[in-house]
Homo-oligomer: A and B are copies of this chain.
Amino acid sequence: MKQIFRESPSLEAALALLRQALQQRTAGYMSAETIPVRSSLGRVTAQAVLARCSSPAYHSSAMDGYAVRFRTTVGASETNPLLLKLGVDALYVDTGDPLPAGFDAVVMIEDVNAVDEAIEIYASVAPYQHVRVIGEDIVATEMIVPENHRLRPVDMGAMLASGHLEVSVRRQPLVAVIPTGSELVEPETVRDRMPQAPEIIEYNATLLGGMAEEAGARTMRLPIIADRLDEIKAALRTAVEEADIVVINAGSGKGSEDFTAQAIAELGELVFHSVAIKPGKPVIAGFVGNTPVFGIPGYPVSAYLTFHLFVVPAISHLLGVSIGASERLDAFISRQLSSPLGVDEFVRVKVGAVGEKLVATPVGRGAGLLMSVVRADGFVRVPADSEGVAAGGTVQVELLRSRDSIRNTVVCIGSHDNSLDLIANCLRHRYPEMSLSSAHVGSMGGLMALKRGEAHIAGTHLLDEESGEYNAPYLKRFLPDCPVVLINLAYRQQGFVVKKGNPKGIRTFHDLVRDDVVFVNRQAGSGTRLLLDKHLRDLAIDPDRIAGYDRDEYTHLAVASAVLTGLADTGLAVLSSARALDLDFIPVAEERYDLAIPEAYFGQPIIQRLLSVIREDAAFRESVLAMGGYDLRDMGTIMFRSGQCIEP
């Protein structure tokens, strides 16, 4: 192979390099194996299958009735019936019976009158009427399926029908996955405890193995190895002996502890290192001998995307199939989507059928957010020569779910509460075709999403400091032109997250000013911060007296984490954050958590189904109560309904 290594190519250039290298290196691969037709579902043919015999294999009757010769029926009519002698001019046949030699048509039993040793017929008969002629379905020698065809149940049926018991199919490529990283631990290690810093649970190999299986490969996972060049080279040497494709995850960057590129280069050669994509830039392709080897980045979204972009095509190449292109649809984008020039960016989006439009909403863009892929409905590719898409523009979404399931999805964007997960689950239990898709962007973000027509529902818990009222004042202020129904989901407890056993004996807001108590706060503008400040003002507690009041955290869980790690003694957060880190919780304040639903969607069946879960599903109610910290006295009640106003 001539040296084709490229540093930091564009996506298209990288794909072209890979294609070229695969064609050169794996020309002799395409190996086949012969397997029983009965267990060939989903396999790919290595050569065309030509019918060995015809089906039907002989002329046969398609009806229960009498075999006749069409010439002897000429002239028969209602007024001039014809008698055909049984055993001579007519023979009884059941459906499927071979047509007796010399006969060429069948009269249905319903259309004759049996008279002694004869039948009376009332119409002439066309040649081969009600006869399944030989080869009607399959003619021996004709092609049943071509080479490179993924076998379906009908193909299996047709192969058996045409006399084949075995079929030659492509051997399924074996993909070896080598997880590397000194901090990685097997999931089994933390079976009975929580992971401790610096442990990271190894899960990418399972993710990538699953993707390889879906692409038609078999997989082999090697044990976790440390970030050491010698270990990586040893594992790579072992893997290429057996596998058809090797994937090293991770160490694919250019940092001081990244050895993947070096390992491949020392045992074979590189095709490219680093590609102008986001996420997934530090990806590597190379060969050891004729075996393709990929260096896949460690961040799970990068791993997912680069495997999809580069390894799946390599598997398809060895299988001889084209990559099944994902379904695509055009969707409206309601916010500007910026993207750096010079890289092809793949943005995860949720897609909702909101009102008349299909709306794509970008979700978390961090390469570390695997849940953004779990929750995504698709990807939008922003090409390297584009700085993004303006608000109101149209994007093409490569779907991860079916169009149908998108039509059956309630899109909820806003503040998150665990009870939304429970709704999602109960909804799916009652209506398996339905989904609740929720994105967590905070209460105000949710209202803005409603305003832009991105969501059916927003979860919100915004306290108006002046009136002491929840949510409705914000709707009036920020969505004056959009009539909205406000449905209560629950009242939830905010409280002090404290160490297990509450060693400092924290009970009330007054404890926060104690000299021995260090507090951790939420950022200004958050619902929790509003709640704290209102209580402090009501109780006339001077914030300046609280140690740590000026130390901000940005999530409930970060507050709990600060307590867990000893940076603070307490902070205000929801119960679930304390539960998540196994901390104690002292409830001190109640807040109202509502769902805001524009009138325009309120009557839609998918919304009414969701409301039926909230209002009628006893199992849902019980599961919310079981979480603790919730009061359901107004669950499902309309708390506010804005007057009908002009639609924008």
Question: Is B58 a contact of A127 with CB atoms below 8 Å?
Answer: no
Q: Which of A148-156, A271-279, A490-498 contacts B (4 or more CB under 8 A)?
A: A148-156
List B contacts of A157 (CB < 8 A).
203-204, 206-207, 210, 300, 304, 370
C-alpha spacing A181/B421, complex, angstroms: 52
Contacts of A142 in B (CB 8 A): 416, 418, 421
CA gap between A579 and B153 in the complex, in Å: 28
Q: Return chain B residues, CB-CB under 8 Å to A421.
A: 48, 50, 142-143, 146
> Is there contact, CB below 8 Å, between B552 and A41?
no
Q: Which residues of B contact A139 (CB under 8 A)?
A: 555, 557, 576-577, 580
Contact B255 A94 (CB under 8 A): yes
Q: Is A97 an interface residue (CB 8 A)?
A: yes
Known contacts A57-B197, A433-B322; A368/B148 CB under 8 A: no
Closest B residue to A564 using CB positions: B134
Query: Of residues A55, A161, A204, A402, which shows the largest number of chain B Cβ atoms within 10 Å of its Cβ?
Result: A161
From known contacts A54-B580, A428-B146, A567-B101, infer whether A206 and B37 are also in contact, taking CB-CB under 8 Å.
yes
Residues of B within 8 A of A427 (CB): 146
Among candidates B51, B56, B95, B195, residue contacting A53 with C-beta atoms closer than 8 Å = B195
Q: Judging by beta carbons under 8 Å apart, are B58 and A561 in contact?
A: yes
* Residue A287 at the chain B interface, CB threshold 8 Å: no
Check A383 for interface membership: any CB of B closer than 8 A.
Answer: no
Report the nearest B residue to A372, measured CB to CB. B137
Q: Is B304 touching A370 in the complex (CB atoms < 8 A)?
A: no
- B210, B579, B581: the one within 8 Å of A41 (CB): B210
Residues in chain B near residue A431, CB distance under 8 A: 322
Which residues of B are found within 8 Å of A134, using beta-carbon distances?
557-558, 561
> Are A152 and B57 interface neighbours, CB within 8 A?
no
Q: Is A366 an interface residue (CB 8 A)?
A: yes
Choice from B137, B183, B211, B558 contacting A368 with Cβ under 8 Å: B137
In the complex, per-residue mask of A26-63: 1 if CB is within 8 Å of any chain B CB, else 0: 00000000000110010000011011011111111010
Query: Are B321 and A432 closer than 8 Å at their CB atoms?
Result: yes
Name A297-321 residues within 8 Å CB distance of B. 298, 300, 304, 316, 320-321
Contact check, A138 vs B371: say whether CB atoms are below 8 A apart: yes
- What CA separation (Å) do A207 and B160 show in the bound complex? 9
The distance from the CB of A63 to the nearest CB of chain B, in whole angstroms, is 9
A148 neighbours in B (Cβ, 8 Å): 428-429, 432
Q: Count identical subunits in the complex.
A: 2
Within 8 Å by CB of A374, from B64, B144, B195, B300, lies B144
Q: Which of A94, A213, A320 has the most CB of B within 10 A?
A: A94
- Chain A, residues 151-182, CB within 8 Å of chain B (1/0): the string is 01111111011011100000000000000010
- Looking at chain A's contact residues, is the secondary structure mostly helix, strand, loop, or mixed? loop
Residue of A142, A369, A431 contacting most chain B CB atoms (<10 Å): A142
- State which of B51, B137, B199, B207 has its C-beta within 8 Å of the C-beta of A369: B137
- For A, the interface residue count at a CB cutoff of 8 angstroms equals 135
- Among residues 404 to 441 in chain A, which have CB atoms less than 8 Å away from a CB atom of chain B? 404-405, 408, 416, 418, 421-422, 424-425, 427-429, 431-435
Does A194 make an interface contact (CB < 8 A)? yes
> Are the C-beta atoms of B418 and A102 separated by less than 8 Å?
no
A242 interface hit (Cβ, 8 Å):
no
Closest to A320 in B: B432
What separation, in Å, do the CA atoms of A256 and B93 have in the docked complex? 12
Contact B425 A141, beta carbon cutoff 8 Å: no
- Residue A631 at the chain B interface, CB threshold 8 Å: no
Instruction: Pick the interface stretch among A111-119, A184-192, A350-358, A591-599.
Output: A184-192
Q: Which residues of B contact A101 (CB under 8 A)?
A: 565-567
Chain B: which residue is nearest A427 at the CB level?
A: B146
A437 to B101, CA, bound (A): 36
Contacts of A384 in B (CB 8 A): none
Give the residue name and chain of the B residue nearest to A99 (CB). Answer: B197
A selection of 8 A-B contacts at a CB cut-off of 8 Å is A57-B196, A57-B197, A135-B557, A152-B214, A154-B207, A157-B203, A161-B201, A165-B187
Q: Which 9 A-B pairs have the closest CB atoms?
A: A153-B210, A322-B433, A143-B421, A157-B207, A140-B580, A98-B197, A160-B203, A135-B557, A325-B404
